[in-house]
Amino acid sequence: MNKRILLIDDEPDVLSGYKRNLNNIFEVTTAPDSTEAVNIINTSREFAVIITDYKMPGMNGIALLSIIKKLTPDSIRVLITGHPDTDVAIDAVNEGNIFRFLTKPYPPSRLIRVINECIEEYNIKKTENASRNINK
């Protein structure tokens, strides 16, 4: 089972917290910005889950998830924001095709639950794709 997750946030303390809370459960990779995230995706095995913060310098999380969707369409995408806004949520669903939208703050247990739901969705997607390829 693929338990690889990529977490993208421009705040080093947030990335450290993710690693501290998640490293014993999942295979965690972090990126401090969109450029490094895209480089990691292009040079790594597929991630089951990709989680990004919305508000980052250079490129917001929605734009990044839209690019990521094209690079790795099977990866399950999650957007996190500290500034919940209906328009942001709508754009995230429509442009980034996200699976979950989380608002800060949230307890680590909620993030772990969401990641597990995403991994389950990823595995369903991979199974369906494999079945489709067999039936061709």
**Sheet containing 49-53: order of strands:** 27-31, 4-8, 49-53, 76-81, 100-103
What is the mean pLDDT of the segment spanning 21-41? 96
What's residue 86's pLDDT?
A: 73
Q: Give the number of C-alpha atoms closer than 13 A to the C-alpha of residue 55, restricted to the C-beta side.
A: 8
What confidence tier does 99 reach under pLDDT thresholds 50, 70, 90?
very high
pLDDT tens, residue by residue, 65-83: 999 999 999 999 999 988 7
What is the mean pLDDT of the segment spanning 109-114? 96
Minimum mean pLDDT among 27-31, 57-61, 68-72, 91-95: which range? 91-95
Q: Chain-centre distance of CA 83, in angstroms?
A: 18
Domain 4-134 has CATH 3.40.1190.20: no
